[in-house]
Chain A
Amino acid sequence: MVIQAVHVPESVDAVVTCSARGGLLMGGGTVVMPLVNSGSAAVTELVSLRRAGMDGIEVSDGVATIGAAATLAAVGEHPGLAFLRPALRTIASPTIRNQATVGGNLFVPQPYGDLAVCLLALEATCELAGPAGRREAPVADVLTTGIAPGEVVVAVRFALPEPGTWHYHKAMRRRLNSAAIVTVASVTSAGDYRIALGGLAPRPVRAVSAERLLRGRPLTPESLTEAGEAARADIDPFDDAYASAWYRARVLPVHLRRAFLPESP
């Protein structure tokens, strides 16, 4: 369809008003604009979040609150979010990270959306605004069931992981600017593991079978390989230009192991 209007609202309320009228929300445009450029956008109106005042980042008392329109570059440059920097550097290129947003990352299909995988492992909470007012929802719910028509994710919030408890590993075809074959993000605390996977299903998934198997056990190459094999029950891999579904499932245990034991072969 041909675009008839691009709204650039300057407040969250104005975003909700435009969105409720049927406009498609657009963060940095990295997903929406290719559709517009090829004439395949399914809408005639866009609602840009670029001027909506939703790009603030606040880190205090061990809690991070990140506006949905914050760019991936801004998150990576924030001194309070240094633990996420290596993960962000595996996403696209520095140029695209100047445009792509945290909120947009929640709505892209895998094998994109590595930050969404991180947010799932961090058990982040989404702050939503809509015609019916404000509400909160676990990021896991937003990833699986989406948001209501007219709603917008205003911010994501999570507790910073304790030092040494954050693990991230992404297998890709090149060292830079490539989508996920397998992405693993995890927070470990006292023998309890929260493990999220990317590249292995249409949306990021929790590796609940691996989490159950690892609970209370030490992390060894053997226990992690076993957990990686168990996690095949949690995934729904797909074929694309980067890898086959078969390959993704095949190498999952290897990359789960490397997420925790980077030195192991």
Chain B
Amino acid sequence: MPSQIVSLDVNGERREFIAAPGATLLACLRESLGLTAAKRGCAQGACGTCTVLVDGRPEAACLVAVETVAGSAIRTLEGVATGGDLDEVQSAFIDCFATQCGFCTPGMIMVAEALLDRDPDPSEADVIEAISGNVCRCTGYRPIVIAILEAARRRRERAVTR
């Protein structure tokens, strides 16, 4: 079977590209669409830095053959900010010093986005479970957990004042 044209809704925009058989969603985002926030870490689903949202749910993009999600809505870190304005999770990561080398950050933020979409007031245990598939080799987990709880607080506050 030759390469085929795949169409995805990426961060709210319809994107079409040519994919070789078995190409991963991750490779297509990075190499065909130039969206390099999601990283290739382990390429076996163990590290979480390639995590993107597929139809609203976090998935390891390195484990997704792109043909299998044709037509789906994909959300990556590039789609989180509004124009130049960082969202609550991104700004909380900065304010809480939750990035060190930054390699895990794209995946951490995307699982946090999915968690807060589903549960605006997660417990610390909920946050720890949500990021349990994401490895930070700087082992800066504590500030990451604090940042996600802070982002949840800011988002709830904004919802009240809006």
Which A residues lie at the B interface, using CB under 8 A?
2-6, 8, 26, 28-30, 33-34, 36-38, 46, 48, 50-51, 73, 89, 92-96, 98-99, 176-177
CA distance A99 to B55 in the complex (A): 12
| Interface residue B104 (Cβ < 8 Å from any Cβ of A) | no
Q: 6 A–B contact pairs at CB < 8 A?
A: A3-B21, A37-B44, A46-B65, A48-B67, A95-B111, A177-B132
Tell whether B57 is near chain A: CB-to-CB under 8 Å.
yes
B64 at the interface (CB under 8 A from A): yes
Which of A5, A6, A30 interacts with B63 by CB under 8 Å? A30
* Inter-chain contacts of A176 with B (CB < 8 A): 128-129, 132
**Please, which residue of chain B has its CB at the minimum distance from the CB of A71?**
B57
Instruction: Judge if B60 is at the interface, Cβ distance under 8 Å.
Output: yes
B63 and A73 contact, CB distance less than 8 A: no
**What's the Cα separation between A120 and B46 when bound, in Å?**
27
Nearest B-chain residue to A2, judged by Cβ = B22
A99 touches B63 (CB 8 A): yes
Taking CB atoms and an 8 Å cut-off, the chain B residues in 97-155 that contact chain A are: 111, 128-130, 132-134
Residue among A3, A6, A46, A51 with the most chain B CB within 10 A?
A: A6
Chain B nearest CB from A238 CB (Å) reads 20
Q: Which 10 A-B pairs have the closest CB atoms?
A: A93-B133, A3-B22, A5-B1, A34-B44, A176-B132, A95-B133, A37-B43, A33-B63, A48-B68, A177-B132
When distances are taken between beta carbons in the complex, the residues of chain B under 8 Å from A89 are 129
Residue with the highest number of chain A CB atoms closer than 10 Å, among B51, B60, B111, B128: B60
Contacts of A48 in B (CB 8 A): 65, 67-68
| CB-based contact B21/A5 at 8 Å | yes
CB nearest to B72 among chain A residues: A50
Chain B residues positioned under 8 Å from A29 (CB to CB): 63-65, 68
Min CB–CB distance A156 → chain B (angstroms): 22
Known: A6-B21, A95-B60. A33 touches B65 (CB 8 A): yes
For A37, the chain B residues whose CB sits under 8 A away are: 24, 43-44, 62
User: Given contacts A37-B24, A46-B22, A98-B59, is CB(A93)–CB(B67) below 8 Å?
Assistant: no
Of the candidates A6, A51, A93, A96, which one forms a contact with B22 in the assembled complex, judged by CB atoms under 8 Å apart?
A: A6
Contacts known (A46-B22, A51-B68, A73-B57); A94 close to B63, Cβ less than 8 A = no
**Chain A, Cβ-Cβ closest to B44:** A34
- Residues of chain A with a CB closer than 8 A to B111's CB: 94-95
Chain A residues with CB below 8 A from B21, complex form = 3-6
List residues of chain B with CB within 8 A of the CB of A46: 22, 65
Q: How far is the CA of A95 from the CA of B38 in the complex (A)?
A: 14
Q: What's the nearest-Cβ distance from chain B to residue A180, in Å?
A: 16
Q: How far is the CA of A8 from the CA of B111 in the complex (A)?
A: 27
* Chain A residue nearest to B131 in the complex (CB): A93
Residue ID in chain B nearest A26 by CB atoms: B65
Among A3, A34, A93, A98, the residue within 8 A (CB) of B48 is: A93
Distance in Å: Cβ of B32 to nearest Cβ of chain A: 16
